[in-house]
Structure 1
Amino acid sequence: MFSELLKIRKTYRNINRITQILNVLVKHGFGQFIEQLNLYGLIPFRKRIKLLTGGVVLDNTVAASLRQVFEELGPSFIKLAQILSSRPDLITERYAQEFEKLQDEVPPFPYESAKEIIETELGRPIEEIFAEIEETPIAAASISQVHRATLKDGSIVVVKVQRPKIKETVETDISIMKMLSSLMLKYIPDTEIFNPLGIISEFSKTIKKELNFFEEAKNIERFSKNFKDGKTIKIPLLYPEFTSERVLVMERIEGIRISDINSIDRAGLDRDEIAAALVNAYFKMILDDGFFHADPHPGNLFVLYDGRIAIVDFGMAGWLTPVVMESIAALLIALVHKDFESLIDQFVELGMITDEMDVDRFRQDFLSDMMELLLPLYDSALAEINFAEYLNTVTHLAIKHKLKVPSSLLLIDKCLLIVDNTVRELAPTFNFITAAAPYTSTLMMKKYGPKRVFDKLERHLSGLADSLIDTPKKLRVLLRRMIAGDFTIKSQIAGIDRLTRDLEKSSNRLSFSIVIASIIMSSSILTLSGTGAKIFDIPAIGTLGFTIAFFLGIWLIISILRSGKL
């Protein structure tokens, strides 16, 4: 009984949220999208009239309007847009650039709520944990906010506190996003190329990790281990005893924001050394550790007064497989040697070229585009080549040619572009290629070293041996099924689902038209008979029939016009 009540309550909450989402979509001109999903019944009547009579967003403003929709719908949708901004392969460059404008800054929630969450999560009064804590947060985002504090032992810290009920809000929104994605696939088949369910699945995994501060704590510990020498990079200390799923306490960093060039100069710090430390740190993460900080915007990077760089906010981090690490190193070597053929070989090794593609034709077209776009980068001296720009150009060429670009490679592309912009502000003449050389050399030595070659050969021979042993058995099973008549071939006609839906719509409209025609004929017969109550000497029932037929006809005409198929 209790579970049923919870289910009813959740359903009611979902309907309220769905209605809110649909109202925001109507407000920003996406009424036709709602009609295509057959959800207009959830829109209030006065807004439904607006939906039918206009309010369609123009093609040249749809990306900006969609950004405004996400911004108004709050935390879950803002986070979704931020993730999509790093996937131009899925949503196109225009939408990715528009979504990058979204700022994850919202008004703070009351200190009383933060205090209650801290005490509940840590299981003791706040006075027993902190000597003092500032009630006004120093930063507030969609998922959490941060307060300055001092522990009882005098340690200066920051306290990250999750927003009240944010987890429930996100779970509700994800379930609604999945429902909308399913409806998109059902009623708008063309959206299948964007893989909406896959996007929501990836988003769900990402944001659930971000909602669990234990995950961020693990990231801090990994980075602390990877940069344990602390010579150029400072990772804040974590206080595990004061960390829970919704509260995170770590060392407070006192330094200069890395984009504040004037303050860095006033402190007498060497900008070239700072730039070198930042680039070396990221090449170490990407080409050595295989684990990188995925949100390197200037607000998360501080320069300490001893010249080290402090990294904060570890909610977003990425993992790289050895294959991807080696491929990035190979991309850099290809840059130096202008070896575009080996670049395509790396795409094949990463599985970016699908089985449906004509590889020879692809090589020809891709090489032509690369020579046109990349050769101008070599007009400068090698030391001045912009590796981040090179990688970005290659990535977008891959997207243009519809390759399956790994999400980790797209995230690295975005990170390196941000780092590159920061470095160019600090030290315009800094040489990316020189900084990367030690890491690429080490990776290539590992890739082509005797041990790696032997291990790869051993795996291939083992796989070949398994295939030789299993093939006769599989052939016997196949023959047995064919003899027993238990052998079937599955085939699917492309576009058959869409054709079926179009036929259903056409038949429904035809049936609707027949009903309207029947109402008109019946009303005409009743009117000519002259029997029954009359209005202005016209039989009332006939008048009512004509009125109903008129409005149903208008509705049918609007529906046909809005579908764009006359």
Structure 2
Amino acid sequence: MLPFTRFNRNIRTIRRYRTILGILIKYGFGQFVEQLNINYYLELGRKIVTLGTAPKGIERLGQPQRLRLAFEELGPTFIKLGQLLSTRPDLIPGDYLDELKKLQDKVPSVPTEQIRIEIESELGYPLAELFAHFDPEPVAAASVAQVHRGRLHNGEEVVFKIRRPGIVQVIETDLDILMGLAYLVEHHLPGGDIYDPVGLVKEFRRTIHRELDFTREARTIERFATNFKDDDSVHVPKVHWDFCGERVLTMEYISGIKVNDLERLRAEDYDLKLIADRGANSFLRQVLEFGFFHGDPHPGNIFILPGNTICMLDYGMVGRINQDLKEQLVDLLLAVLQRDVDRIISQLLYSGELTDESNLKALNRDLGEFIEDYYEIPLQDIKVGKLLADFVEILTHYRIRFPSDLMLLARALVAMEGLGRQLDPDFNMITHLRPFLERLVKERLTPTNLSREMLRVAQAYGSLARHLPRDIKEFINRVNRNKFKIDLEHRGLEKLITDLDKASNRLSFSLLIAALIIGSSLIMQTDKGPMIFGFPALGFLGYSVAGFLGLWLAIAILRSGRL
């Protein structure tokens, strides 16, 4: 049986299952639920789902809109899942991506008394001793955390990010359910295994666990501050570690202007072109220099401070580019900018994951057409966001999967270019990108880097040569001892096994009913034993049981819709 059955069958989990399935059906995803064959695993048949009242006019909405509304009603875990999926154009069609980006994470605020209890429990002191002032009115209230303003005893203005009480239990329950659903999607939906839903949920679990621990976010902010400590054009909020914990984050209050408030920026004489240039350079430094970038640079998270200084907020979502991934990214960008189709193909083969369905000849043709579309356009006129969107569309069509951090980077880069063009109509990301790429290519050819790369290759081959004899010997020994095994995994047979199980159970039931009828008929031919209405009681009882079981079987067959 699938791991789906390993989940705790407590009342809270079962109730949540019912809620999730009911909302999915309410918003028109009943066929999806039916395909998962979920009734077999929940053991309660169709009674497990309690249908709610569908919103008025829901039937006129498309599937992407209905999915967004369902996620919003399902709560914080699914809102966060939708936000993660909105960064994966390699998995989700464009119309779904656009809709999931609109997910609203706004909920009623938690009463101040509960917030006070959370802070005091986490930091270990009464609120009055910790802070000179705590504003009971929240600045923002989301499904995972709530933000309040305040002031420390030394007079510094701060903001507090407090985790909502009980949210961890809610998310853990939902994560267990999502993992169960992912197993079912992988085994029951046609082509479900191509998208690796189990792997996606595991990635989501890791991401949301990081977001729930505010000490991680505090360390992230500190890392950004260290990276930009010598750059006056970027300001990173100060973290007050004495007032931080897993459930509470206290940092400097930022009073600035949102980057998309162009009228106010112009009225206060800010240099919009300089802001666009600084924003692009700071982001490219994050990616190509530090390998650690802000994953959600939307306008609400970017403030402009006096002196045209860039300040980013909300470091819960970050991306990481290790050295190998950075090298692959640079090679891929250079190949695209140089319009080298063969080099792009080789990078895709090395960097991505070409599935069995991929057709290299067709891929080569489509990439050639993609390059031709941009060939006549001067580099300074190319929109990186549009180029990336078209490129990712090709990858998606051929089921080419890339690391999630690269997909997050693509989304963030599109967002940064869009902001740059709002600030400066002549803004061009290629102008800022080219010097970084040229510098990185030159750094590769320095004697230090060449020697380091040669040493790494030599160590890798040395390790291979050192372990190869032992591995060969172990392989031969296993074969000689008949211990060599090949594990084969079947896919798509679970539904067949389930249907065969149901069919055999019904057949056994039918044979039992037939035996009761035949046995009762034989008893009816005798006049022995106690009598009821002039008939042998045992025969009468046999007929009654057979009739009840027959009626039960008939109802079950009719309710299944498979007469």
Bucket of the pairwise TM-score, normalised by the shorter protein: 0.7 to 0.9
CA distance 1:272–1:239, change in 2 (3 Å): same
Partner of 1:4: none
Quick check: 487-496 or 428-437, which moved more?
487-496
Partner of 1:66: 67
Cα distance between partner residues in 2 of 1:317 and 1:187: 33
Partner of 1:215: 216
Shift of 1:222: 0.7
Contact 2:357-2:398 at 8 Å conserved across structures: no
4+ residue runs of structure 1 moved beyond 6 angstroms? Answer: 57-60, 515-529, 531-534, 539-548
Letter in 2 for 1:267: E
Shift of 1:251: 1.1
Cα distance between partner residues in 1 of 2:449 and 2:231: 31
* One of 372, 375, 389 as aligned partner of 1:375: 372
Cα distance between partner residues in 2 of 1:495 and 1:415: 37
Cα distance between partner residues in 2 of 1:60 and 1:491: 44
Shift of 1:218: 0.5
Shift of 1:490: 4.3
Secondary structure at the residue paired with 2:161? strand
Contact 1:19-1:42 at 8 Å conserved across structures: no
Cα distance between partner residues in 1 of 2:223 and 2:301: 17
Contact 2:374-2:382 at 8 Å conserved across structures: yes
Q: Deviations over 1:244-291 (max 9, x none)?
A: 111111111111111111111111112111111111111111111100
Shift of 1:441: 1.4
Cα distance between partner residues in 2 of 1:335 and 1:47: 50
Partner of 1:54: none
Shift of 1:164: 1.0
Contact 2:384-2:414 at 8 Å conserved across structures: no
Contact 1:178-1:197 at 8 Å conserved across structures: yes
Shift of 1:301: 0.6
Letter in 2 for 1:395: V
Q: Deviations over 1:346-382 (max 9, x none)?
A: 223325346x578xx51x3223112323432344332
Shift of 1:551: 6.2
Shift of 1:46: 9.8
Q: Provide the aligned length of Structure 1 versus Structure 2.
A: 540
Contact 2:293-2:319 at 8 Å conserved across structures: yes
Shift of 1:431: 1.5
Letter in 1 for 2:100: F
1:78-97 to 2 correspondences below 5 Å: 78-97=79-98
Partner of 2:4: none
CA distance 1:33–1:258, change in 2 (3 Å): same
Partner of 1:265: 266
Q: Deviations over 1:53-101 (max 9, x none)?
A: xxxx999944433332221121112111211222233344444333222
Shift of 1:416: 1.0
Contact 1:122-1:242 at 8 Å conserved across structures: yes
TM-score (norm 1): 0.84
Partner of 1:24: 23
Give the root-mean-square deviation of aligned CA atoms: 3.6
What stretches of structure 2 of length at least 5 have no aligned partner? 1-6, 53-57, 535-539
1:71-470 to 2 correspondences below 5 Å: 71-185=72-186, 190-353=191-354, 362=360, 364-470=361-467
Letter in 2 for 1:195: D
Q: Deviations over 1:327-363 (max 9, x none)?
A: 3323332333212222222223325346x578xx51x
Cα distance between partner residues in 2 of 1:426 and 1:520: 85
The reply to whether residue 11 of structure 1 matches residue 10 of structure 2 is yes
Quick check: 478-487 or 294-303, which moved more?
478-487
Letter in 1 for 2:21: L
Secondary structure at the residue paired with 2:249? strand
Shift of 1:533: 6.6
Letter in 2 for 1:391: L
Q: Deviations over 1:447-483 (max 9, x none)?
A: 3433333333333333334444444444444344434
Contact 1:516-1:553 at 8 Å conserved across structures: no
Quick check: 79-88 or 192-201, which moved more?
192-201
Secondary structure at the residue paired with 1:248? strand
Shift of 1:213: 0.7
The reply to whether residue 478 of structure 1 matches residue 479 of structure 2 is no
CA distance 1:299–1:60, change in 2 (3 Å): closer
CA distance 1:241–1:476, change in 2 (3 Å): closer
Letter in 1 for 2:83: Q
Shift of 1:522: 9.4
Quick check: 127-136 or 182-191, which moved more?
182-191
Secondary structure at the residue paired with 2:331? helix
Contact 2:235-2:310 at 8 Å conserved across structures: yes
Cα distance between partner residues in 2 of 1:513 and 1:187: 29
Shift of 1:300: 0.4
Contact 2:21-2:49 at 8 Å conserved across structures: no
CA distance 1:230–1:546, change in 2 (3 Å): same
Cα distance between partner residues in 2 of 1:522 and 1:62: 56
Quick check: 425-434 or 454-463, which moved more?
454-463
